[in-house]
Chain A
Amino acid sequence: MKRFYLRAIKDIRDNRFLTAITVITIALSIMIAAAFALFFINAGDVLTLWQKGIRMMVYLDPEVSETGRIETKSRLQAIAGVQEAHYISREDALERLRGQMQHHAALLDNLRDNPLPEAFEVTLQAGARDSDTLQFLAERISGLETVAEVEYGQQWIGRFTSIIKLFSLAGYAIGGLFFMATVFIVANTIRLVLYARREEIEIMRLVGATDRFIKIPFYLQGMIQGGLGSFLGLTALFLGYFYLTRHFGAGGAGEMFQMRFFPAATCAGIVLGGMVVGWLGSWVSLKQFLK
Chain B
Amino acid sequence: MTDTRNDAIIRLFHVHKRYGAKAALQDLTLDIEKNELLFVTGRSGAGKTTLLRLLYLGEEVSEGQILVDGMNLSRIPRGRIPRLRRKFGIIFQDYKLIPTKTVYDNVALVLDAAGRKPSVIPKKVKSVLRIVGMEDRMNAYPPSLSGGEQQRVAVARAAVGDPKIILADEPTGSLDEEAAGLIMSYLDTFHTRGATVIVATHDKELLRRANTRVVQLRDGRLWPSDPI
Interface set of A (CB-CB < 8 Å, partner B): 3, 14, 199-200, 203-211, 213
Contacts and interface: CB of A to CB of B under 8 A. Distances in A.
Contacts of B118: 3
B113 A213 contact: yes
A207 B85 contact: yes
Interface in B104-132: 109-110, 112-115, 118
Given A3-B118, A199-B98, A200-B98, A210 B82 contact: yes
Interface size bracket, B side: 20 to 34
B113 A3 contact: no
Given A3-B112, A3-B118, A208 B98 contact: no
B58 A209 contact: no
Contacts of B81: 205
B83 A208 contact: yes
Given A200-B100, A208-B161, A210-B82, 19 more contacts: A3-B112, A14-B100, A203-B97, A203-B98, A204-B109, A204-B113, A205-B81, A205-B82, A206-B58, A206-B85, A206-B90, A207-B90, A207-B110, A208-B82, A208-B85, A208-B86, A208-B113, A210-B113, A211-B79
B157 interface: yes
Contacts, number: 48
B213 interface: no
B96 interface: yes
Nearest to B107: A207
A197 to B, nearest CB: 9
Contacts of B88: 208
Contacts of B97: 203
Nearest to B90: A206
B39 interface: no
Contacts of A200: 98, 100-101
Interface of A is mostly: helix
B190 interface: no
A206 B79 CA distance: 13
Contacts of A209: 82, 109, 113
Contacts of B101: 200
A205 to B, nearest CB: 8
B157 to A, nearest CB: 7
A14 B100 CA distance: 10
Nearest to B83: A208
A41 to B, nearest CB: 47
B96 A203 contact: yes
A206 B96 contact: yes
Contacts of A207: 85, 90, 109-110, 113, 157, 161
Nearest to B114: A208
Interface in B47-100: 56, 58, 79, 81-83, 85-86, 88, 90, 92, 96-98, 100
B100 A208 contact: no
26 contacts: A3-B112, A14-B100, A199-B98, A200-B101, A203-B96, A204-B109, A205-B81, A206-B58, A206-B96, A207-B85, A207-B90, A207-B157, A208-B82, A208-B83, A208-B85, A208-B86, A208-B88, A208-B113, A208-B114, A209-B82, A209-B109, A209-B113, A210-B113, A211-B79, A213-B112, A213-B115
Contacts of B90: 206-207
Contacts of B98: 199-200, 203
